[in-house]
Amino acid sequence: MAKIKTSFFCQNCGAQSPKWQGKCPSCGEWNTYVEEVIQKEENSRGSWKQSAPAVKKASQPKRLKEIHFEEQARLATGDAELDRVLGGGIVAGSLILIGGEPGIGKSTLMLQIALMLNQVKVLYVSGEESENQIKMRAERMNRFSDNCYVLAETNTQQIFQQVEQLQPELLVIDSIQTLHSQYVESAAGSVSQVRECTAELMKFAKETGTPVFLIGHITKDGAIAGPKILEHMVDTVLQFEGDRHLSYRILRTSKNRFGSTNELGIYEMHTEGLKGVNNPSEILMTQREELLNGVAIGAMLEGNRPLLIEIQSLVSPATYGTPQRSSTGHDAKRLNMLLAVLEKRGGMRLGQQDVFLNIAGGLRVDDPGLDLAVCASLISSYEDSPVDPKSCFAGEVGLGGEIRAINRIESRIAEAAKMGFEKIIVSRYAVKGVDLSKFPIKVMAVTKLEEMYKHLFI
């Protein structure tokens, strides 16, 4: 009997070592090495086909200008939000990984897409749910398709046998952590299994031109479970975010070889599935019957998409010891910088005040164009006076208290006008050369925080 070959793998980054180590030399994490059987067979390992691969001629280098390239048509899913995030649709032969918390709606979204593509043959492979459970979900969504096939299987070799017979045009795997290959002798979800199964699916996608969606679990830290190499192997990484106890979901991309990584998709969860939100500015601004202190509306850009979001802040005297500085959805270091500017340039005594900042809607923002809205919200809470509800803000604040120009100011102004605002405060340097008469909104151009203060309150 041949000796079983084993090795040690880091569960965080996938690094391999012949012996156990307490600290991974690659990623620096402690107690992440586990022992696994590295292979069972050598002859067919890594091939998605059962038969031996054909002999191929060795590749030869070519000049870049000699390479013939044709723009491939993307497959439109019919979901405007997903198509926007992917860069216009699904690219043939692409490998797309979508991750998110349990219950966030990953399986619902993928089944919904499979049922919407009526003219495309789709194979939905589930390793977590039975066929009856998937049928119940489809009936609840009230969607049906004659070209959607369901397979409850976790063995990759069995899956590829069915794929060869069915010849699907789109493959969905739910989830990659449940699959296991017979060429690796470790448990499903381990570093070796995830890497091997992903490699087989990637080879299948590239050789046949069939796009493949992989649903992935995440760890308690929010990262996709499995080795980090998983994210390097795939073409696109999508992150499904949001509070599963609330109705809104946010789909963003952290990696995309075929499009921008700055796009954002917003969904609303209903009983019959996920519905795309065409005008997210409406849901990101709370409808209030009375004026509140510490609330300001900022015009931001998420990729190429202008959004109006609500900034909420609370400034109150510190009761115990060191004042607290807490921000949800906003960079804490940038908040501290803006507080220092307000104290130094604006004369506000914030050194003994607790400051809490929240971005409504569960968004995480990093657009410097929200600095002006954040300052307006902080001043409103500190002065205990509400901001004019028909005003919004768009501008970056410098260390000298100056209001700096930001990009695509016309898109922000147009979005504010569309949402019914009567006034927007921006930097004077951002509107140079811009014809403001074409906007049905009053544009207040300022250069310093002192000028903004005059237009701030009712």
Going by DSSP bridges, is the β-strand pair 391-394/325-328 parallel, antiparallel, or unpaired? unpaired
Residue at 117: amino acid letter: L
Task: Enumerate residues 6+ apart whose C-beta is below 8 A from 424.
Answer: 299, 391, 392, 393, 394, 412, 413, 416, 441, 442, 443, 444
DSSP 8-state code for residue 369: G
In 311-442, alpha helices (H): 332-345, 371-383, 409-418
103 is in an annotated binding site: yes
6-10 β-sheet, strand order: 16-17, 6-10, 33-37
Question: Which SS3 state, helix, strand or coil, does residue 416 take?
Answer: helix
Q: Residue 376's closest CA among 324, 283, 299?
A: 299
* CA distance linking residue 264 with residue 261, whole number of Å: 9
DSSP 8-state code for residue 3: P
105 is in an annotated binding site: yes
Quick one: 86 exposed, middle or buried, by C-beta within 10 A (0-12, 13-18, 19+)? buried
Burial 263-276 (b: 16+ CB within 10 A, else e): bbbbbebeeebbeb
Determine contact, residues 330/377, Cβ cutoff 8 Å: no
* CA distance linking residue 436 with residue 425, whole number of Å: 13
Determine contact, residues 395/426, Cβ cutoff 8 Å: yes
Question: Which SS3 state, helix, strand or coil, does residue 114 take?
Answer: helix
101 is in an annotated binding site: yes
Ramachandran quadrant class, 22 (left: phi over 0; alpha: psi -120 to 50; beta: rest): alpha
Question: Which SS3 state, helix, strand or coil, does residue 326 take?
Answer: strand
DSSP 8-state code for residue 303: T
381 is in an annotated binding site: no
Q: Which helix (H) or strand (E) holds 13?
A: none
Question: Which SS3 state, helix, strand or coil, does residue 282 take?
Answer: helix
Q: Rounded to an integer, what is the distance from CA 153 to the centroid of its chain?
A: 28
Determine contact, residues 309/297, Cβ cutoff 8 Å: yes
47 is in an annotated binding site: no
* CA distance linking residue 115 with residue 134, whole number of Å: 12
Residue at 234: amino acid letter: V
294 is in an annotated binding site: no
Q: Which helix (H) or strand (E) holds 281?
A: helix 280-284
Question: Which SS3 state, helix, strand or coil, does residue 53 take?
Answer: coil
DSSP 8-state code for residue 154: -
100 is in an annotated binding site: yes
Give the residue ranges of the annotated binding site for ATP.
100-107
Give the residue ranges of the annotated binding site.
100-107
